[in-house]
């Protein structure tokens, strides 16, 4: 299998969507298909994470999870690693009023 550059989802449990397709639930991690570990370094087999190659890891740090969501937690380390940096090597945050 070829290693992909866009991360997919690996989750601690699964549920069925409205159309009957498997969907991730529980704790969600970013996973690059073709590798045996998540982006944050957890081995998939030892942590018993289920792979979802058909679901893209498209979460943002501003996402709010509620009780109705099947996803309970998004790994902050995977989130930081998958967002990367802006063009030119700039950081994702911007200081508006720096101290003198």
Contacts of 27 (CB under 8 A, 6+ apart): 11, 12, 72, 73, 74, 75
Residue 83, pLDDT score: 77
For the chain, give the mean pLDDT.
84
- Say if 46 falls within a structural domain: yes
Residue 63, pLDDT score: 80
| Domain span at 79 | 8-84
Give per-residue pLDDT as tens, 30-69: 999 889 999 999 999 899 999 999 999 988 877 888 888 8
- Say if 96 falls within a structural domain: no
State how far Cα 6 lies from the chain centre: 11
- Say if 90 falls within a structural domain: no
- Say if 94 falls within a structural domain: no
Q: What is the pTM of this model?
A: 0.76
Domain total in the chain: 1
Length of the chain, in residues: 100
């Amino acid at each position: 299998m070829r290693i992909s550059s866009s991360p997919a989802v690996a989750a601690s449990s699964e549920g069925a969507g409205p159309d009957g397709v498997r969907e991730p639930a529980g704790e969600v991690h970013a996973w690059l298909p073709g590798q045996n570990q998540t982006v944050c370094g957890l081995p998939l087999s030892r942590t018993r994470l289920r792979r979802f190659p058909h679901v893209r890891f498209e979460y943002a740090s501003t996402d709010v999870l509620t009780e109705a969501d099947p996803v309970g937690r998004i790994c902050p380390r995977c989130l930081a690693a998958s967002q990367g940096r802006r063009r030119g090597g700039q950081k994702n945050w911007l200081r508006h009023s720096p101290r003198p």
